[in-house]
Amino acid sequence: MWLKSYLSFGPDRPVWALFADALFALRVPLSERNVDPEIRMNIFLQTWHSYTNNTQIPDLKILTDTAKKFGLRIEGIAFLRGVIRQMPIWYHKEADPTIRTLNHTQASQCLKKKHAVRNVGDAEALANMLRNSQHTMENNCMCEQCTHLRTNLHCEHPQGCMKQALKLINTLPPKWDPRSVLPEDYQRKPRETEPDWIIFDNRVTTNGTLADIFRLFTDPKVTPVNTLPDLKIRAPEDADTGNIIVATNGSCYNNGEDNAHAGAGIYVGPDHQMNRSAKLPLYIGQSNQNGELVATKLAAELADP
């Protein structure tokens, strides 16, 4: 629960978590001293490291030890654009490693100090200025936005800063790039058509806030992918879009015992071609619940091959 509170990014984050962030940022090994202290925001969202050994403050070490012990990491098929934009851009945890080479240029110093660029959304907004039709792609451009950057933020090279912001967000893989077409752009909540029907909700985007991008008990042998699945449904023109009622069931002899044997059954109607009975292969746990799952999966595959 302590780790959960620490990672509850947002307005309800406890004050102690902010102190913990600051202490993590102070307690960095020699190899990380070149990381600008101003942009050391969070070790779970960025790639810089704080001490994880016994030189760390004991309470902070408990946090990192707990995260390690329970396999905490960022994981999910897709995230909300609003959440992607809140990720710190500097040392972004999921960016291409080349992002680390973009930290110390003159333009990046200006981005950090004068433009106060901290997260992906800040960098994206600045990069988007390059697309403004009034902008002349020169540092002495007199367009409204360049005049604002020069006058109010005292930026001496707005064009250079916009291009650097673009370079930063160009290191983001599709899943973490707010410019991508994300599943949230085309997946819709299923409509409730009839009272007795529950339409399968196929949306894959993790809801919530930045706090919800983390998972525990992850498999260290599996590397999460940062590509986006294309889940746009393209029904063939001759598709039969009619409904079919399928009864499914799973059962298991000696459920819970070593000699358990599970099976799955599908029934549509007398002599229907989709009627099936199946034994569960032995590499699937032999249980009543798994029988039910296999029956449902098989029915879905047979109904929509």
Contacts with Zn ion by CB under 5 A lie at 110, 135, 141, 143, 146, 155, 161
Q: Alpha-carbon torsion 40, 108, 10, 231, what sign? A: negative
Of 67 and 129, the one with the shorter C-beta distance to Zn ion is 129
Q: What is the DSSP string of 268-295?
A: -STT-TT-EEEEPPTTS--SHHHHHHHH
Taking the complex as a whole, the smallest distance from the CB of residue 166 to Zn ion amounts, in Å, to 13
* Pairwise CA distance, residues 52 & 44, whole Å: 13
Residue type, 117: V
Query: What pairs with residue 250 in β-bridges?
Result: 264
Of 23 and 130, the one with the shorter C-beta distance to Zn ion is 130
Nearest partner of 52 among 2, 87, 38, 43, judged by Cα: 43
Taking the complex as a whole, the smallest distance from the CB of residue 38 to Zn ion amounts, in Å, to 15
Of 61 and 118, the one with the shorter C-beta distance to Zn ion is 118
Taking the complex as a whole, the smallest distance from the CB of residue 142 to Zn ion amounts, in Å, to 7
CB atoms within 10 A of CB 164: 23
* 253: CB partners within 8 A, 6+ apart: 260, 261, 262
Taking the complex as a whole, the smallest distance from the CB of residue 91 to Zn ion amounts, in Å, to 20
Residue type, 276: R
Of 60 and 155, the one with the shorter C-beta distance to Zn ion is 155
Taking the complex as a whole, the smallest distance from the CB of residue 146 to Zn ion amounts, in Å, to 3
Of 138 and 240, the one with the shorter C-beta distance to Zn ion is 138
